[in-house]
Amino acid sequence: MRIEPIKLEPKQTLFRDYKNNYENIADRFNHHPFEESTWERRLSEIRNQTYQRAELSEVLNRMNRRWEAPVETLNNIEKLKDEESVVVIAGQQAGLLTGPLYSVHKIISVLQLTKEKERDLGKPVIPVFWIAGEDHDFDEIHHIMMKQGSGMEKMTIDHTPETKASVSEITIDQQKASAWLKDVFGMVKETEHTQDFYKEMERLLKESDSYSDFFAKVVYHLFPDEGLVLIDAHDPAVRRLETPYFNTMIEKNREMASGVYAVLQKNRQEGYETILDSELDDAHLFYSFEGERVLLVRDEEGNFRGKNNEVVLTEAELLKIAEETPELLSNNVVTRPLMQEALFPVLAFIGGPGEINYWSVLKPAFEAAGLCMPPVLPRLSFTMIDRKTGQQLEKFYIPADEAIRSGVREKKMNWIASQSTPRIHHLTEQVKKEISSVHAPLRQKSATLGADLGQLAEKNLEYILENIDFLEKRINHSMESRHQHEMEQFENIEWTLHPGGGLQERMWSIVPWVNMYGTTVFQQMNRHHLSFRNDHYVVYL
């Protein structure tokens, strides 16, 4: 395995400024992500904060034992009791087989920064991954994308939950999930790893009650020795620890919402993309009502009301719920980072471009809740290149970074054109020029006989030239058929390195890579030293 960095300009303006022109948006954050002085300041902030370390450690221990977590993980959970210990944290929904590759890339990012900061600071640093089990958008996690032919196919599990419940509350339909898993593995080429990988995933699936359980078990199968600690944020035992923090979010709700709204407007006025949608009356909390997750807003009387008036609660009633049945409450994208900060001694949070975008408006919410925003580091980003695709890049003399940035559609057309002498496009342009020249006397004569006839002559030329373009397309199509093998190679490069016009990590899953290279492939990536200052990494397998 060889890993090399490449330059990859971020598409989002705010994320681009965060990485390259931090001073433009420094007022939105508390810490510069790449300054050495950041880390001692952050340790000082953590020392001034109190945490339920022993209680949290006990909850995590029970939870992770249920997932058959490795001993290194249990040891790290025990370290959390140490007042000097801190955590590096990231999170994601409980995607099937971990979902898109960027979920695994986040985990590698957490492990990398943990190693780096434990070495630099001389403190126990614990890698933590937050499974957002409270999320109820099942459509976001109920599928993976698999390469099929000359494109990608969406493999969706045939399971429709009866209610809009949190993912951690949805019991897996084992029969349908098993059929789905079999279909997924039916799409990969048999290798020395296929049967063992399939049987292990089948076993983990059968031993899982919820999709969060399945996610956790798969992660520990991929990273068995790194000491990674997983937390299902929607576990009732976690919720019981969160009562005092929910109370703060309820009592300071108006200040939090207005602060977030103000910075959101500032971002819009300064031309930054606004991924987060937030209004002044948003409560940024969910309440579980009759088995469904209901988003709360504040009304003019100060009550907390379902966005579609499903339920109405006074502040006192909501505070009582937080005290007695906190498992009925959950966070949205605004309050989840606050809860994470309140529960864990967070040395750093790691997020993708979208997450950093919405974290840019959260500073007032942290301050209203009496918390300090941790350093936010951009996650590591990778594109994996298998041997076959690497050989195809070499064959056509295509640099990997160009294929990753822009795809190879244009290069494919240029290659086809180069297979004829003279080139087809050059030939058709020459013919059109000659025809236009020969046709000129007719247009001139027609124009002298009347405006209508002159326009007809112009249309006539336009029609002839369109027919030439049509013929060019048919010739190209014929050339593509004659060079079908090469066309398939270009398509493979396109869909492997630039699928759907974007990065591989946003569409591909772990399945083809583990199937081809074994379950240690991501551990091998993690053994390299990877700098967070680089835009993107190419992994040659």
> Which amino acid is it at 84?
E
pTM attached to this predicted model: 0.89
Q: What is the pLDDT of residue 531?
A: 96
pLDDT for the residue 438:
82
> Nearest-CA neighbor of 64 among 227, 241, 222?
227
Measured distance CA(18)–CA(25) in Å, rounded: 7
**Unique residue bearing structure tokens 């997450």:** 355
User: How many Cβ atoms from other residues are within 10 Å of residue 114's Cβ?
Assistant: 25
Burial 334-346 (b: 16+ CB within 10 A, else e): bbbbbbbbbbbbb
Share in percent of the chain as helix, strand, coil (round to 5): 55, 15, 30
- State how far the Cα of 85 lies from the Cα of 119, in Å rounded to an integer: 13
The CA distance from 368 to 365, in Å, is: 5
Instruction: Find how far residue 161's CA is from the centre of its chain.
Output: 24
CA-wise closest residue to 355 among 276, 280, 428, 297: 276
Residue type, 536: H
SS3 state of residue 316: helix
Distance CA 483, CA 419 (A): 9
Which one-letter amino acid corresponds to residue 417?
Answer: A
- Joined tokens for residue 460: 């006539």
Identity of residue 15? F
Q: Which residues contact 215 (CB under 8 A, 6 or more apart)?
A: 94, 95, 96, 98, 131
Look at residues 108, 56, 105 and name the one whose alpha carbon lies nearest to residue 85.
56
DSSP single-letter state for residue 140: G
C-alpha to C-alpha distance for 73 and 247, rounded to whole angstroms = 31
pLDDT in tens, the chain (541 residues): 999 999 999 989 999 999 999 999 999 999 999 999 999 999 999 999 999 999 999 999 999 999 999 999 999 999 999 999 999 999 999 999 999 999 999 999 999 999 999 999 999 999 999 999 888 889 899 999 999 887 899 999 998 887 888 889 899 999 999 999 999 999 999 999 999 999 999 999 999 999 999 999 999 999 999 999 999 999 999 999 999 999 999 999 999 999 999 999 999 999 999 988 899 999 999 999 998 999 999 999 999 999 889 999 999 999 999 999 999 999 999 999 999 999 999 999 999 999 999 999 999 999 999 999 999 999 999 999 999 999 999 999 999 999 999 999 999 888 877 776 567 677 788 778 888 888 888 889 898 888 899 899 899 999 999 998 898 888 777 766 677 888 889 999 999 999 999 999 999 999 999 999 999 999 999 999 999 999 999 999 9
Residue-wise DSSP of 463-496: HHHHHHHHHHHHHHHHHHHHTHHHHHHHHHHHHH
Strands 382-385 and 536-540: parallel
Order of all β-strands in the sheet with 282-289: 312-313, 304-306, 292-298, 282-289, 329-331
Q: What is the DSSP letter of 295?
A: E
State the pairing for strand pair 346-351/376-378.
parallel
Q: Assess contact for 73 and 112: CB atoms under 8 A.
A: no
Cα–Cα distance, 356 to 43 (Å, whole number): 21
DSSP conformation letters of 504-519: GGGTB-SHHHHHHH-T
Given a contact cutoff of 8 angstroms between Cβ atoms, the answer to whether 41 and 35 are in contact is: no
Report the sign of the C-alpha dihedral through residues 205, 210, 216, 219, in that order.
positive
